[in-house]
Amino acid sequence: MNQNAPFDPSIPVLTEVVTEPMAPTPAPAPAPAAEGLERRASERWTGEEWSVLERRVTERVLQQLQGRVDFVLEQRVRDAMADAMQRTLDSFTADLRTGLHEALGEVVRQAVTQELEYLRT
């Protein structure tokens, strides 16, 4: 590295503060337009039209929720069934192990008894 290189003033150094120009912020959307639309709708629509709109919105929301509810319900039922089946399998395995242990013990006891009787005769 050459320490006698000329200093380039276009390169900022640590002691200099470099500022970036601020980007203009977008203006907020005018709220009066929404209020005007709401006022016009409430003035022009009859009670029956509002009832129809309410029913349509309710039906649409219920349809959207039904799919989500079905998914969540199916997942919970699946999880509950998996837990119940695991508990049943654990219980069945323990019962089977106990039954096999008892059966093998009985078979061995009978075989030993028969062998001892055979040896006595």
The confidence band for 121, taking pLDDT boundaries of 50, 70 and 90, is confident
Long-range contacts from 64-73, C-beta under 8 angstroms, 24+ separation: none
The confidence band for 12, taking pLDDT boundaries of 50, 70 and 90, is low
Alpha carbon distance 92, 23 (integer Å):
70
The confidence band for 85, taking pLDDT boundaries of 50, 70 and 90, is very high
Q: What is the pTM of this model?
A: 0.43
- Write the single-letter amino acid at 79: D
Q: What is the mean pLDDT of residues 83-107?
A: 97
End-to-end Cα distance, the chain: 108
Alpha carbon distance 44, 2 (integer Å):
82
Token digits for 74?
Answer: 């199916």
DSSP 10: T
Q: How many CB atoms are closer than 10 A to CB 48?
A: 8
Alpha carbon distance 115, 20 (integer Å):
100
